[in-house]
Amino acid sequence: MATTRTTRLARLLLSGVLLLTLAPAAAAQCAMCYNAAEAQQAQARKALDLAIAALVAPVFLLVGGVVFITYKRRNAPDDPSGEPSGSGKPDLLPARLIPPPPDSAASDRNRPSA
């Protein structure tokens, strides 16, 4: 249990360090956009703001949709048929893919006589 917590913490710290190392490059791009927008007239700045919103909106909608679907299905059963298995253990294969056990009488008939 503690190892999974440690692994999660290490991954979180590693991703944070990675994001911090990429931040100066991203900040430089923001400064360029800011300077370009500042040099424009008011109408052009408004158009640039609208263009940025138009580019960002689909991304937010897609991410929001994935989060919404994940939230709604968080407690859904793994079995798409909705029928609980009788043994209490998870089924690795659907029942139609598992061959039936051999019948003892049928296996005696198929055995060569000595």
Residue 101 lies in a domain: no
Residue 110 lies in a domain: no
Residue 80 lies in a domain: no
Residue 54 lies in a domain: yes
- Full residue range of the structural domain in which residue 67 is found: 42-72
pLDDT digits (tens, 9 = 90+) for 25-36: 666 667 777 787
Q: Residue 68 has what pLDDT? A: 92
Residue 55 lies in a domain: yes
The model scores a pTM over 0.75: no
Unique residue bearing structure tokens 């703001």:
49
pLDDT digits (tens, 9 = 90+) for 60-111: 999 999 999 988 888 776 655 555 555 555 556 566 666 667 776 555 555 6
Element housing 112 (H / E) = none
Report angle CA 53, 42, 33 to the nearest 5 degrees. 55
Residue 105 lies in a domain: no
58 to each of 6, 45, 53, 55, 80, how far by Cα in Å? 36, 21, 9, 7, 30
The number of distinct structural domains making up the chain is: 2
- 32 vs 18: which has the higher pLDDT: 18
